[in-house]
């Protein structure tokens, strides 16, 4: 690397490191909701991306309403819109489970088809309600721009925001799953549905809330992603492949695996991308995944559930 000073290289190294961590937090936030649904319930939710879009559109709506009616609230609305996105997407997920998914638990492959149909329905609804054009909420000024750590290092504020949100969500999910009594019931249901029912756990209720929680987290992810990209009816499809990749590579039933997988994919992708072109970086990342999955079909961290 001739012609560059050590300061410059150091700065680039720091910013590149952050780019990787930023991609990691995006991937993890996308995958968390899916990992809960896929891992705990065995439902392949093809409409995951559309629940993210629901969160993004909620943010857009709140942004527009705030701008029109209470402009003074603009700098703060974003935090509330994330909570609202969680509630809206969660409610939609609750309804979807109630109307559609619960009838298909005994036919796991049919849930794949049913949720794919659901995703098409949701896409077309967005198109009819919000129009085919992409929209972006007006973001508060403090969220945009960069934080100049030194003269040469600029850290994107939205990246830090997404990172913070991801850490918060991950910790919350871990607390829910492994420390709360509700999490205990979810895990019990996953391990042995009949037995869990026999000891008095309402497994149907557990399913419904698990699904709603997964969709709600997807909604939060969607809200957070309005800071880095735009929202259109088909936005969800942009994310769904990466999301599944993270969950499958991590090992379906393991939340820890999801984190590890998001981290390794993100670092591999962003480091490769720095040295070769974006398309080739993606090819190499995917090739590596395929090869690893050939030897470890269960993913990085196979679940230790008795079958």
CA-based angle 136:170:121, to the nearest 5?
45
Of 158 and 169, nearer to another protein (C-beta) is 158
Q: Is 54 in the site for another protein (CB under 8 A)?
A: no
* Near another protein in 97-116, by CB under 8 A: none
Number of residues that bind another protein (CB under 8 A): 50
| CA dist., res. 221 & res. 29, Å (int) | 6
When the beta carbons of 127 and 204 are compared against another protein, the nearer one is: 127
User: φ, ψ for residue 145 (rounded to 5)?
Assistant: 85, -175
- Phi and psi (nearest 5°) for 61? -60, -50
Name residues contacting another protein, limited to 79-98 (CB under 8 A): none
CB of 234 to another protein, least distance (A): 5
Q: Of 278, 285, 228, which is closest to residue 262 (Cα–Cα)? A: 285
Q: Which is nearer to another protein, 9 or 290 (CB)?
A: 9
Nearer of residues 12 and 184 to another protein, judged by Cβ: 12
Q: Quick one: DSSP state of residue 8?
A: H
* Region 267-296 residues binding another protein, contact defined as CB under 8 A: 269-271, 273-274, 277-279, 281-282
CA dihedral sign, ordered 266, 271, 272, 273: positive
Q: Enumerate residues 124-153 that contact another protein by CB under 8 A.
A: 124, 127, 131-136, 138, 144-146, 148
Of the candidates 299, 220, 230, 218, the residue with the CA atom closest to the CA atom of residue 262: 299
Q: Residue 76 forms beta bridges with which residues?
A: none
- Of 31-39, 43-51, 198-206, 230-238: span binding another protein (CB under 8 A): 230-238
Q: Between 14 and 188, whose beta carbon lies closer to another protein?
A: 14
Residue with tokens 């609305």, as numbered in its chain = 77
Distance of CA 280 to the CA centre of its chain: 24
HSE-up (13 A, CA, CB side) for residue 204: 6
Query: Binder to another protein among 81, 166, 189, 227 (CB under 8 A)?
Result: 227
Look at phi and psi of residue 42 and say left if phi exceeds 0, alpha if psi is from -120 to 50, else beta. left
Q: Which CB, 173 or 266, lies closer to another protein?
A: 266
Binding site for another protein (CB under 8 A): 4, 8, 12, 15-16, 18-20, 22-23, 26, 124, 127, 131-136, 138, 144-146, 148, 154, 156-159, 225, 227-230, 232-235, 237-238, 269-271, 273-274, 277-279, 281-282
């Amino acid at each position: 690397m001739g012609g560059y000073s050590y300061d410059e290289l150091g700065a680039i190294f720091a910013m590149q490191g952050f780019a990787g961590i930023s991609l990691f937090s995006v991937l993890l936030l996308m995958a968390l909701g899916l990992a809960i649904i896929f891992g705990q319930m065995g439902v392949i939710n093809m409409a995951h991306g559309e629940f993210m879009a629901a969160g993004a559109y909620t943010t857009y709506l709140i942004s527009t309403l705030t701008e029109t009616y209470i402009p003074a609230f603009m700098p703060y609305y974003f935090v509330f819109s994330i909570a609202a996105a969680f509630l809206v997407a969660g409610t939609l997920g609750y309804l979807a489970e109630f109307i559609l998914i619960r009838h298909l638990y005994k036919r796991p492959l049919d849930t794949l088809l049913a949720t794919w149909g659901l995703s098409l329905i949701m896409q077309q609804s967005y198109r009819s309600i919000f129009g085919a054009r992409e929209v972006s909420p007006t973001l508060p000024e403090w969220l945009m721009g960069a934080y100049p750590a030194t003269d040469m290092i600029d850290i994107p504020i939205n990246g830090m925001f997404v990172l913070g949100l991801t850490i918060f969500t991950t910790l919350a999910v871990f607390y829910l799953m492994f420390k709360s009594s509700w999490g205990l019931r979810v895990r019990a249901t996953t391990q042995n549905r009949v037995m869990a029912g026999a000891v008095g756990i309402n497994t149907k209720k557990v399913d419904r809330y698990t699904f709603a929680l997964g969709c709600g987290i997807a909604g939060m992810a969607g809200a957070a992603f309005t800071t880095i990209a735009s929202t259109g009816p088909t936005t969800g499809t942009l994310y769904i492949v990466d999301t599944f990749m993270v969950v499958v590579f991590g090992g379906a039933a393991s939340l820890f695996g999801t984190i590890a997988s998001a981290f390794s994919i993100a670092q591999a992708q962003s480091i490769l991308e720095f040295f070769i072109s974006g398309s080739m970086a993606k090819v190499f990342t995917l090739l590596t995944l395929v090869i690893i999955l050939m030897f470890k079909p269960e993913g990085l961290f196979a679940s230790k559930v008795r079958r």
